[in-house]
Chains A and B, each alone.
Chain A
């Protein structure tokens, strides 16, 4: 065995230590790379899951896919304005729904005006979304007036009971109140009283509700502008303003 000089020994030890340190550095770098890959893989998987569910959700939400007859062409509505107007608006509503009341108070006058100017044809389609006695009684009274007194009185009545809309949470008025509003709207009390009190148009309300459901309407108010669901705005007020601006 040769006799290695002292400096060589320490040099060897140093070289060994360097090699060991280098090995650890390499291992650590490999571990960092591996960890980074794992993190990236897991993150990609999570984003994929969220993304796929997002698109599944978007495609399952059928609220925008409403297939309803254009304005003036349903059996359960009241139409104002000319059929030749450049725009066509359909409003599905429930007489008790607070947002419908807000929409009516924000837009009704302007839509009347625009319809008179020939800029839009609007059809109001009330139905019983909320499944309350008042929703049924009010829609029934509306149908009675439409039948006995014609669209002008029915529209007036529609505007009146929205202007004075009862609260959804409190107690709702009954037939007496609806009859009073009908008379205020210009109806002949004797002619409409039996229909309003006896709910003679209950079937009409049920059919209108079924027609709305068949069209894919699941909330109120549902506004269709030229056949497409219109909900451009953060609040009902904004939606009403934007709709009117769109038609002007």
Chain B
């Protein structure tokens, strides 16, 4: 049962990552602008993060959906969600009004203040799903099961 729940967590979290990355991938410039809008990173670092995030999101998403190195992918996913939550909380605390740029877009958004709580709630839920996968280790229908099939009797080690 838990392993099936793990599969659901993988598909939902991975699906969100793939979507978020794929939407941003075609427009690196907009992605960099979205990072800049947070006013947290110096120009060159914002540029690097803007280029890096979309492909990283897609790869983490694919790994989760396929169940490939699930624990590692879930750990990276959790770290990213923590970073995003900090980022959104920080613009919220500074009274800035920007689109989180989570799924493309970014920059000024007059309705931003009302969307921050919901964005944080969404990222927190996905963070929990990621942590659940780290804790669970194994879930159903994962490529990991094929790659790491046991040839000898199991030991305590995972």
Contact = CB atoms under 8 A, between A and B. Distances in A.
Interface of A: 24, 27-28, 30-31, 35, 38-39, 42-43, 46, 49-50, 53-54, 57-58, 60-63, 98, 168-169, 218-219, 231-235
B83 interface: no
A54 B51 contact: yes
Interface residues on B, range: 20 to 34
Nearest to A98: B108
> Which of B41, B147, B153 has the most C-beta atoms of chain A within 10 angstroms of its own C-beta?
B147
Contact of A60 (B28, B63, B72, B150): B28
A43 B152 contact: no
A61 B28 contact: yes
A132 to B, nearest CB: 14
B151 A57 contact: no
Prevailing SS type, chain A contact patch: helix
A230 to B, nearest CB: 9
B52 interface: yes
Contacts of B63: 46
A234 B147 contact: no
A78 B138 CA distance: 66
B29 A234 contact: no
B145 interface: no
Interface string B97-139: 0000000000010100000000000000000000000000000
A57 to B, nearest CB: 4
Given A54-B52, A57-B51, A235-B39, A38 B148 contact: yes
A6 B69 CA distance: 52
Given A57-B51, A57-B54, A234-B46, 19 more contacts: A24-B152, A28-B152, A28-B155, A30-B151, A38-B147, A42-B69, A50-B56, A50-B59, A54-B51, A54-B55, A57-B31, A58-B47, A98-B108, A168-B108, A219-B29, A233-B43, A234-B40, A234-B41, A234-B42
